[in-house]
Amino acid sequence: QASQEELKAAYRRLCMLYHPDKHRDPELKTQAERLFNLVHQAYEVLSDPQTRAIYDIYGRRGLEMEGWEVVERKRTAAEIREEFERLQREREERRLQQRTNPKGTISVGIDATDLFDRYDEEYEDVPGSSFPQIEINKMHISQSIEAPLTATDTAILSGNLSTQNGNGGGSINLALRRVTSAKGWGELEFGAGDLHGPLFGLKIFRNLTPRCFITTNCALQFSSRGVRPGLTTVLARNLDKNTMGYLQWRWGIQSAMNTSIVRDTKTSHFTVALQLGIPHSFMMVSYQHKFQDEDQTRVKGSLKAGFFGTIVEYGAERKISRHSVLGATVSVGVPQGVSLKIKLNRASQTYFFPVHLTDQLLPSAVFYATVGPLVIYFAMHRLVIKPYLRAQKERELEKQRESTASDILQKKQEAEAAVRLMQESVRRIIEAEEARMGLIIVNAWYGKFVNDNSRKNEKVKVIDVTVPLQCLVKDSKLILTEASKAGLPGFYDPCVGEEKSLKVLYQFRGVLHQVMSADNEALRIPKQSHRIDADG
């Protein structure tokens, strides 16, 4: 975002610093020539609007292309950006056509009621009766893939298999979706299964206004009993920035009317819903709190009451790796009993394990369903997950260091050469600043600092940047913008891929000051808040 005037000022300053004629030593002169040429090349690119636009978009690779096959160099910056956006859209369409976007769910139902509700007296003589019987009583597997046909047409193939207590079945569905405009799309669905006959459906989505949309789904299910039609319509509206209101009408086998309000913010998710229908009518309230931590921890609770009874649910979920989220929910209801539901989301795959503990409301079942998963999670997190993630991070950092080793070595050599060339200029700057009781950089370090006792085994990786920072002082001021400081003259990255900071001890008007700022944080000194208290 630098203006042409700022570019010229920076160019003149660096030319004075690196000009070969200012250095008599043969080695310094050679180093100065190399850095001076780099500065001159950079200014040639950035001072021309066309080449600057090319560099901003494509980087050095764009400048090195012979004949510049992508766009003509004579175009304006706006035309180049427009062309780049068009090419981006084309690449996105090609990627879209190659992507299948697979999604899947595996659900395994477990009957563990024998743990809490046993007939010990009646079955004490049966062989093996001393051990609780835990059974898998149901299983469900579903999978879907998308195949983009064109930029507006997509085919979706899905299937599922289910089994419960020895009986099961499956179905397969094919849907063809077309985006008709920016406001809507339509979808045709064809399905068949061994439990139900052929299925034909039509789904339509349409934005009525910028804040309101409607979805309609019509279906015809053929079976030995005849044709069963069904119709579902959902009308939704943005009530405010974070709140949506929904009205749903369903007609067919299970007719119902449902209204719900959903409020989703950065820290919470709240839902209230009311349904009147056959055979189920209910009212439901749920709340989820989102902690702003690195693991994206969430705790939730809900109450659902209706003709079927009352259910209270509470639970939590947490991110355990880059692509995995683990959650557990305890369900306590009448007459449903007590259940524990464990869910693992891994990328686009979901693994669900509902464990039915008891048909009655037993305090012991509620206690173990609540405490058991917590104890197991914290033990696994400490003994397995945390060490695994730490080792994975180290492997990634090592790969990154290896891939950038030659580049970092070159940057280090350039930085060291720049520091040697700065010595004379820095001496003059210090003399001028001392004469006016101005800004003197006493010490400055850049890199990875370890101040936390929990990280005391980690190695400190910092470089001395006192000279480069003093060289940037002008009129008793030092101003650094919001960008990585590794790109400053005389700097380089001492710890690739790790968090870095800049620590500065400086003197202004004869008084010591100290400040530490993050790598990408803007810095402006001197400041009164940086002053070191003499009494402390």
What's the CA gap between 170 and 270, in Å, rounded? 35
Answer whether residue 155 shows pLDDT above 60.
Answer: yes
Instruction: Report yes or no on 111 lying in a domain.
Output: yes
What's the CA gap between 198 and 221, in Å, rounded? 6
Instruction: Please indicate, yes or no, whether residues 7 and 109 belong to a single structural domain of this protein.
Output: no
pLDDT of residue 445: 93
Work out the average pLDDT over 248-265.
92
With contact defined as beta carbons under 8 Å apart, do 333 and 362 qualify? no
Instruction: Report yes or no on 477 lying in a domain.
Output: yes
- Bridge partners of residue 226, in order along the sequence: 223
What's the CA gap between 397 and 386, in Å, rounded? 16
Condensed to tens digits (0 to 9), the pLDDT of residues 103-142 reads 899 999 999 988 887 655 555 555 555 677 888 889 999 9
CB burial readout 167-200, b (16+ within 10 A) else e: eeebbebebebeeeeeebbebebebebeeebebe
Instruction: Please indicate, yes or no, whether residues 58 and 9 belong to a single structural domain of this protein.
Output: yes
* pTM value > 0.85: no
The pair of three-digit structure tokens given for residue 395, joined into one six-digit string: 């492997």
High-pLDDT (> 90) share of the chain, %: 38
Number of domains the chain is built from? 3
- Enumerate helices (H) and strands (E) in the chain, giving the number of each: 8, 23
Instruction: Report yes or no on 309 lying in a domain.
Output: no
Instruction: Please indicate, yes or no, whether residues 150 and 249 belong to a single structural domain of this protein.
Output: yes
Instruction: Please indicate, yes or no, whether residues 221 and 146 belong to a single structural domain of this protein.
Output: yes
CB burial readout 348-370, b (16+ within 10 A) else e: eebebbbbbbbeeebeebbebbe
Give the residue from 231, 253, 275 where a domain finishes. Answer: 253
What's the CA gap between 309 and 334, in Å, rounded? 5
* Average confidence score pLDDT of the chain: 85
Condensed to tens digits (0 to 9), the pLDDT of residues 517-536 reads 998 888 999 999 999 875 54
Among 236, 205, 204, 208, smallest CA distance to 219 is for 204
* Phi/psi-derived region of residue 68, left when phi > 0, alpha when psi is between -120 and 50, beta in every other case: left
pLDDT of residue 67: 41
- Assign 482 to helix, strand or coil: coil
pLDDT of residue 28: 78
pLDDT of residue 536: 45
Query: Given pLDDT bands bounded at 50, 70 and 90, which one contains residue 453?
Result: low
What's the CA gap between 340 and 373, in Å, rounded? 9
Instruction: Please indicate, yes or no, whether residues 412 and 523 belong to a single structural domain of this protein.
Output: yes
Answer whether residue 143 shows pLDDT above 90.
Answer: yes
The pair of three-digit structure tokens given for residue 92, joined into one six-digit string: 């996105």
Instruction: Please indicate, yes or no, whether residues 158 and 52 belong to a single structural domain of this protein.
Output: no
Instruction: Please indicate, yes or no, whether residues 448 and 500 belong to a single structural domain of this protein.
Output: yes
Condensed to tens digits (0 to 9), the pLDDT of residues 375-414 reads 998 898 888 888 888 888 888 878 877 877 788 888 888 8
Instruction: Report yes or no on 239 lying in a domain.
Output: yes
pLDDT of residue 93: 62
Give the residue from 219, 253, 287 where a domain finishes. Answer: 253
Q: Give the strand pairing for 439-448 and 135-148.
A: unpaired
What's the CA gap between 218 and 216, in Å, rounded? 7
- Assign 328 to helix, strand or coil: strand
One-letter amino acid identity for 112?
A
Instruction: Please indicate, yes or no, whether residues 61 and 202 belong to a single structural domain of this protein.
Output: no
Quote the Cα angle for 388-293-522, to 5°.
105
Query: Given pLDDT bands bounded at 50, 70 and 90, which one contains residue 304?
Result: very high
Task: Provide the residue range defining the domain that includes 489.
Answer: 403-528
Instruction: Please indicate, yes or no, whether residues 110 and 212 belong to a single structural domain of this protein.
Output: yes
Condensed to tens digits (0 to 9), the pLDDT of residues 168-181 reads 889 999 999 999 98
Give the up-direction half-sphere exposure of residue 462: CA atoms within 13 A in the CB hemisphere.
Answer: 18
- DSSP letter at 522 equals -
